[in-house]
Amino acid sequence: MSEPRPSDRHDASESDDTFAEIVDEATQRDPDLAVIEAGSRTLRTASGPVPGDEVPARPADPEVDKALRAVEQELAGRWGETKLEPSVARIAALMDVLGEPQHAYPSIHITGTNGKTSTARMIEALLGAFDLRTGRYTSPHVQSITERISLDGSPMDPERFIETYQDIKPYVEMVDAQQPYRLSFFEVLTGMAYAAFADAPVDVAVVEVGMGGRWDATNVIDASVAVVTPISLDHTDRLGTTPAEIAGEKAGVIKQDATVILAQQPVDAAQVMLKKAVEVDATVAREGMEFGIVSREIAVGGQLLTLRGLGGEYEEIFLPLYGAHQAHNAAVALSAVEAFFGIGAEQPGSLDHDTIRRAFASVRSPGRLEVVRSSPTVVLDAAHNPAGARATAEGLSEAFGFSRLIGVVGASDDKDVRGLLEAFEPIFAEVVITQNSTARAMNADALAAIAVEVFGGDRVQVEPRLDDALEAAITLAEEENEYAGAGVLVTGSVITVGEARLLLGRH
């Protein structure tokens, strides 16, 4: 295992001098972001320009950027997303003083362990293709906080985001004064989303839970369609240590007389979900029974699917995402939209096939087996638990066929990092251990100690600074004359992936 290089040590090389100069120029900016963006400029010098991207960059207007940073700073002063008191009392109080905006539109509520954001994006695309105005609320964000609240498929623009925060701020402070605990970061953002959707107004909201379901802040909506993506072990300190216990928390999103779209689940988790559905007279559609994948073929840039929905088969669907797990997400998303329109229950027949094809062909999911650079190919994936890592490893092996794959892994401190690393061990020739810039990041040395146990010392390198880790991985991928067939996978955390996107110029 190579020795870690201290993050403040610089060689006399031209690239390090350039990096230092760029950081010095950005001294008035957020320190962490300054370092990340400086690194992105030096890395782009070697990799060349990259195409445009739908994930928003910082606002170009300095005054708007300053105002957005002020909002971010105020939100950061609240409880973070991993510190919570399991209750919907505070968010319910906020909804009350705001006039119950969450009831101004129908909604689709998505819970599960993996695949929620990609499924939400697919549902959003399908609804938009049928000329419905959509609001989408997902978490966490990849690069910009504004990604969390989308209108008509696009992140809320910074000016509107700031305005929405300022509009609800007096009501937030009113609730803060009345409650034992202040509203958390996530609760305030949830309030912003629901208020923005009512103000737009949207025809339908697509809402992803933050954690669990029963006491999640999003669970003040009465969704007519509840979606449950695959359940596995994650957030075990909060949700339970078995799939059944976790399912018990996530089943809280299933409301009276709703339709439940149930992805393939562990048997004990499925039993919990079905029991809850019976208790509230909900209708259940199960993947593999009422809907599913008929066929799947690898295609250039994605995969070609035939899906069976609640209203029949949909052929020749091109999905520009990699991995069997994304095909399963597509089947779930299609059935959720069919259920929303009443297909398979109130009315027979299917949705327009050409519209379905156009919608799926437009889907993007940043940070999910996303290619951000070539020669060598660099892929980003936000897998952060063992089940997600296994799906990523399978999808990567299926779609890319690298002759040599180097991993860059930076994980959060509260995750099953051993299970994550074990899932990637069969496909990584070597792994570069690093850490992202947040307080939640697992220390690179601590993560490396576990990596050595999984991979062996000769396959592990440590670079605590992410820009150094990317450069080291790219160098390793280019060794042994395997330039064209080698690749790099950056993974372990949504935050790590977001910072890597910025470093590699994906704005």
Model confidence band, residue 213 (pLDDT cutoffs 50, 70, 90):
confident
pLDDT of 349: 80
From 213, 196, 117, 186, select the one nearest 160 (Cα to Cα).
196
Most confident of 5-9, 188-192, 396-400: 188-192
pLDDT of 375: 83
* 140 upstream amide cis, omega within 30 of 0: yes
pLDDT, mean of residues 152-174: 97
Taking the alpha carbons of 381, 383, 386, 387 in that order, is the dihedral positive or negative?
A: negative
Interior angle at CA 239, CA 207 and CA 266, nearest 5: 85
Give the pTM. Answer: 0.85
Q: How far apart are the C-alpha atoms of 431 and 411, rounded to whole Å? A: 13
Residue with tokens 């499924």: 119
Q: How far apart are the C-alpha atoms of 7 and 446, rounded to whole Å? A: 16
Model confidence band, residue 211 (pLDDT cutoffs 50, 70, 90):
confident
Tell me: the pLDDT tens digits for 224-275?
A: 999 999 998 665 556 667 888 889 889 999 999 999 999 999 899 999 999 9
Which of residues 337 and 388 earns the better pLDDT score? 337
Helix residue ranges, H only, 11-137? 14-25, 31-47, 62-76, 89-98, 116-129
Q: Is a pLDDT exceeding 60 seen at residue 33? A: no
Most confident of 14-28, 232-246, 343-357: 343-357
What CA–CA distances, in Å, run from 187 to 48, 289, 427, 435? 41, 36, 39, 27
pLDDT, mean of residues 190-218: 94
Average model confidence (pLDDT) for the chain?
87
From 338, 310, 91, 343, select the one nearest 209 (Cα to Cα).
91
Model confidence band, residue 63 (pLDDT cutoffs 50, 70, 90):
very high
Model confidence band, residue 299 (pLDDT cutoffs 50, 70, 90):
very high
Q: How far apart are the C-alpha atoms of 343 and 478, rounded to whole Å? A: 52
From 356, 288, 359, 364, select the one nearest 320 (Cα to Cα).
364
Q: Is a pLDDT exceeding 90 seen at residue 358? A: yes
Q: How far apart are the C-alpha atoms of 194 and 133, rounded to whole Å? A: 14
pLDDT of 235: 56
Q: How far apart are the C-alpha atoms of 296 and 316, rounded to whole Å? A: 10
Tell me: the pLDDT tens digits for 305-346?
A: 999 999 999 999 999 999 999 999 999 999 999 999 999 766
Exposure string (b/e) for 244-274, b if CB count within 10 Å is 16 or more? bebbbbbbbbbbeebbbbbbbbbeebbebbb
